[in-house]
Structure 1
Amino acid sequence: MTYQTITLDIADDIAVIRLNRPEKYNALNGLMRAELTDAVRSSADKARVIVLTGNGPAFCSGQDLSDSGDVANPDLERTLRDEYQPLVRALADSPIPTIAAVNGAAAGAGANIALSCDVVIASESAYFLQAFSRIGLIPDAAGTYWLPRSIGSPKAMGAALFAEKISARDADAWGMIWEAVEDDAFEKQWQSRAAYLAKGPTMAFRKIKETLRGSWGETLEGQLDHEGKAQGACGQSRDFKEGVMSFIEKRPPHFEGR
């Protein structure tokens, strides 16, 4: 598929998806949402890790308000159901790890698309902004789901009500993201993280995603059952056998991703 609002490059088992509307600070319009969803889904069969980042100075400035249709009477519920929710699910449910490499401002839905990825790495100059209340809305694109789970209810409530910028360093300290990296080391760092995941035990990564995300609505008894089944499946994989042999033989493992 030829994309108009994003780019997709796959090499060395790493799929790099770049939001590519720099003149609009990578604001999300309907076409971009559709293309992102397609690229995330299709990359799962062609790579072992997905990186989502932005071209230009911003990661994503959120919804393109000029693309909202009837501004006087918009059907935001339909837009979320038909366009944002498939993208959030594609990122969160991808069978391979997803990284958001936040190179600049991540505002509104842009912030929450980043939080939908498994790992968020941000440049030190980047920031996150739940801007919704500034125009009379609530956080969407799964923001009401990810925020309290990552930074707790008090911080999530303040971020939503006050709509203030959260620096990458604060996001790191609060537990919203995995790490904030100095700007001059940012590109090299996310590439290194992606390369590590691309060479890792892909089946184990998938089971890690499934069991950790599934635990949020599970009892201890139920989670122990899921954990046991997932571990049993991993124990039958060739990657597990390779991991054990490499440990015994004191050499780096060569995981096939199966």
Structure 2
Amino acid sequence: MSEPLVLVTQSGAVQTLALNRPAALNSLTAALHAQLLAALEAAAAACDVRCVVITGMGRAFCAGQDLNDIAAAPASGSGDPAGAQAQDLGRVIETLYRPLCLRIRSMPVPVLAAVNGVAAGAGACLALGCDLVLAARSASFIMAFSKIGLLPDTGGTWLLPRLVGRAQALGLALLGDKLPAPEAERRGLIWRCVDDASLPDEALALAQRLAAMPVKALVATRQAMDAAAQLDYGQALAQEAAMQQTLGAGADYREGVAAFAGKRAPRFTER
């Protein structure tokens, strides 16, 4: 039996999903998409998972779409039906990338990307779609789409301007230059970069910290911030009131207040 394309491990309430095509720099295929989406669905349904880490095996996080995969191969120009189907990248986005991106963005727990090496094209956008991005100091981010005649996908056109502003987003997308992790941190593209050797431990420690927090409130914060980008100030205030009403009626709020009053560490349980 072949080795799985996504390795799933768990440490306490933290589940790590490691892309496992190291010889191909963890580039994405239809099969890898299917296994990663299935792993995310399983994590979303598991009550003992309170944070998910996505990382890559070997020397890369993810080099983007595997251009040798038939789904993304350009048409041969010979007019054969297989070639015509192969070049329908819109269908690839709709059937593979869109469900994956939406699942990450709607996870009921925080999602952390631990970028251990190059993150290029769809691989870079996959990482940026997570709640927090922690990167090894030697890692890099490359919006490689323009190099092959495409535009950023995997949420890139939505994510980049919101993370770094229009000017920086266009510069990254149009030029496709390699952005080292320290510079990505400086520009606000990622949360933080750390020494290469400490990335696994730092990622686990951060994930464990998130898992111990009120994850329902953390997820609501993500949802509110994403939605607020489409709202005016008054609408955002109304949204905050509605969401705060729900959270304020929950067990984690009661526990947080009781722990504060009792000068003890809280034990949050909601998900």
Q: Same fold (TM over 0.5)?
A: yes
Identity of aligned residues (%): 38
Give distance in 2, aligned partners of 1:183 and 1:10: 22
Residue in structure 2 matched with residue 71 of structure 1 by the alignment: 74
Match of 2:58 among 50, 56, 59: 56
Alignment partners' CA distance in 2, 1:34 and 1:147:
25
Match of residue 107, structure 1, among 120, 123, 126: 120
1:164 is displaced (CA, Å) by 0.4
- For the pair 1:155 / 2:157, whether they are aligned, the reply is no
TM-score for both structures, normalised by structure 2: 0.92
Q: Partner of 1:29 in structure 2?
A: 29
Letter in 2 for 1:235: G
Alignment of 1:82-97 (within 5 A): 82-97=95-110
Q: Cα gap change, 1:54/1:177 in structure 2, threshold over 3 Å: closer, same or farther? A: same
Rg (Cα) greater in structure: 2
TM-score normalised by length of structure 1 = 0.96
What amino acid does structure 2 have at the position aligned with 1:6?
A: V
What are the residue-to-residue correspondences of 1:145-184 with 2, within 5 Å?
145-184=158-197
Match of 2:78 in 1: none
Compared CA separation, residues 3 and 41, structure 1 to 2 (3 A): farther
Counterpart-to-counterpart distance in 2, 1:30 and 1:149 = 28
Q: Aligned pairs, how many? A: 257
Structure 1 residues 195-214: aligned runs within 5 Å: 195-214=208-227
> Aligned match of 2:137 in 99, 108, 124?
124
Amino acid paired to 2:57? N
TM-superposed deviation, 1:3: 7.4
Q: Give the gaps of 5 or more residues in structure 2.
A: 76-83
CA drift at 1:239: 1.0
Q: Distance in 2 between matches of 1:97 and 1:197?
A: 7
Mapped partners of 1:3, 1:203: distance in 2: 34
Distance in 1 of aligned mates of 2:215 and 2:172: 34
CA–CA distance in 1 between the matches of 2:225 and 2:44?
20
Residue 255 of structure 1: aligned partner: 268
Q: CA RMSD in A?
A: 1.3
Query: Contact 1:130–1:139 (CA<8 Å) still a contact in 2?
Result: yes
Distance in 1 of aligned mates of 2:131 and 2:243: 18
Moved more, 248-257 or 80-89: 248-257
The amino acid of 1:5's aligned partner reads L
Paired AA for residue 23 in structure 2: E
Deviation of residue 32 (structure 1)?
0.5
For 2:229, what is the secondary structure of its paired residue?
helix
Offset from partner CA, 1:88-140 (integer Å, 9 cap, x none): 00101111110000010000100000011111110100000001111111111
Quote the offset at 1:45 in angstroms: 2.1
Structure 1 gaps, min length 5: none
Counterpart CA distance in 1 for 2:111 and 2:266 is 22
